[in-house]
Structure 1
C-alpha cells in the first residue's frame, strides 16, 4: 500500500513537471514565401542553423508561388508573415486596406536576376538587345520593372526597341526560353547557372549590379499582427539578423551545404557558385533595416514602369524600422 502511495506521488510530480514544460512551448509563426529561390538563402539558413528555435519560435514555411497568392494568404490570415517583393505592400495600401501590410525586415537588397542569352557574347553591350526577341517577366512584378528600368538607363525602350513577351508564367519561363525562339531572358539563380552549365544559355549581365540597392524581397506582416505580436516579430527579426550575419561571414560552399535540402535537384557546385555570385554583388542584405534611400529607389523603379498607384506612397506608413533597429542595437 505504501509503495502505491509513493508511486502516486511520483506520478503527480511527473505530471506537474510535464505540464510546466508544456507552458514553455515554442510559438508557431506561419511563414509564406513567394517562391522557392536560392536568392532567399539567409531565410533557409535561419531555419537550418536553428536560429528561430533559439528564439523560441517554430517557423512553418510554405511556398505560395506568386505575389498575389502570397498577399491573399497574408491578408486572409492563412499566414502570419510573408516573404515577398515590397512592391506588393504598395499595391495593397493603394486599395485602401484597413489592415495593410507593413515591411519590417529586409532580406535581399538588389534585383536577383541575370541576363541570359542563347548565344555566347564575347563583348556584350546593352544596345545589342535592340530588335531582339526578349522573354520578359510578369507585368508589375519586381523582375520586370527592374529589367525595364535598367534597359531605359541604357537608352532602350523595352516596349518599342524589343519584341517583348510577357505571357509566360514565372515557373515556366526557363522551359519556354529553351523551346522557343527567344534570344534573351531574365533568370534567377540557380536556374541561370544550370542553363549555362548545360550549354543552353550564357549569363552575360546582372540586373542587380545595374539597378543598385532596392528592398527587393522583404518580410512583412499585417499592421494588426505587428501590434499584437511585437515580441514574436522581434524574435523573428533577430533570427533573420543572425542568419544574415552568418551568411556574410561564411564561405559560399558551407552555405550551399547548409541549405542544399531546399534544392535537392541542383548540384552542390551550382549552388555554391550561385551563392557566390549573389554574395559578390551584395544581393543578401547584411541587416534587416529597410532604409528610406532604398525605398525611394524602389518607388522610382515602379514609377518608371508606369505601375505607381494614385496617392502618396508613405515610407512612414509602410515600413517599420523600429524592430530591426532594436535587434541590431542589442
Structure 2
C-alpha cells in the first residue's frame, strides 16, 4: 500500500485502528505492519484497537507491546481475536488498571488472564472472554469484582479452561451470556447478579443449582441437558421473566435416547407462570411421560398465556407424530383464550 504525503499524515492521526489478517498461509505477518504503524502513529488518544489474526504468529510478534501502547494512549475499545499459539500469551499489566477502557474483547485459547492483586477498570461496560485460560481459580473473580460499571458480560469456555467453579457476582450487570459445552462433571457455575435483565445460558452438562438473586430478569434463554437441576429452585430463579426459552430435552433425544427425562413438580407455582408468561414454545415434543407432565403443568398454571407453539420430535414416524400432536392438543389450558399452533420445526419461529 502506498499513500501520498498528504494522506500519510492524515493516517497517522486516525483514532480507530483495525488490523485484520485472515490469510491461512504466507510469510508476511500483520504484526510487522502493526508495529511500524504504531511507531508512526501520532494521535494522543486511540479510540479503538481491533486486532484479528487467523494464523500462528512469527517469533518477533509482540502482542504485549502493541496492547500496552494502546492502553497508554487511553484506548476505549480493545479487541484481540487470535488463534491458538505455540507459546502462552499474556496481557500487559496496565490493561487491568486502565481508566479509559469501555469495551474489552479477548479471544484466544492460549491467552492467560493473569489478573494482578489490585485491578481496577472503572469505566469498563462490556467484557467478552472467549476461550481464554485463567491463571488460577480466582483470576476471573478478581477481574469481575473490580469492574464497578460492568453492564454486559459474555463468557465462552472450552476444555483448556482450568476453572472448576466459575463465579459471577456483579451487581451492575444487565446482560450476561455464558456458554460452555465441556462434559466434565467437576465444573459448576455460580450466578448472583441482582441487576440482571437478560440472560443467555448454554451449559448442557453443568451444575446450575447456584443460580439465584435475579429479581429484575426479563428475558432468558437456557440450554441444559443432563444432569437436570433442582427443579423447584431452578424455576424460581426465573420467576420474574417475561420471555423464557428452555431447551431441556433435545440432547436426550439425540444422545441419550434410553434415559428418562427427570422433572419434579414444584411445591408452589412460580410467579412467572401465574402472572407473566404469554408465549410458550416446545420444540421436538416426543410425548414421553415426563414431557407430558411438564407441558401439562405449564399449560395448567399459565393464566396469561396467549400463544402455544409445538412441533413433534424429528425421530417419530408420521403416524406417531400425528398421535403426539393430538395428545398435546388435548391438554387442559387454564387460559381458554390462548392459541395453540401445531407446527413443523421449520416454521416454529415464523
Question: Which is helix-richer, 1 or 2?
Answer: 1
Greater Rg, structure 1 or structure 2? 2
Question: Which is strand-richer, 1 or 2?
Answer: 2
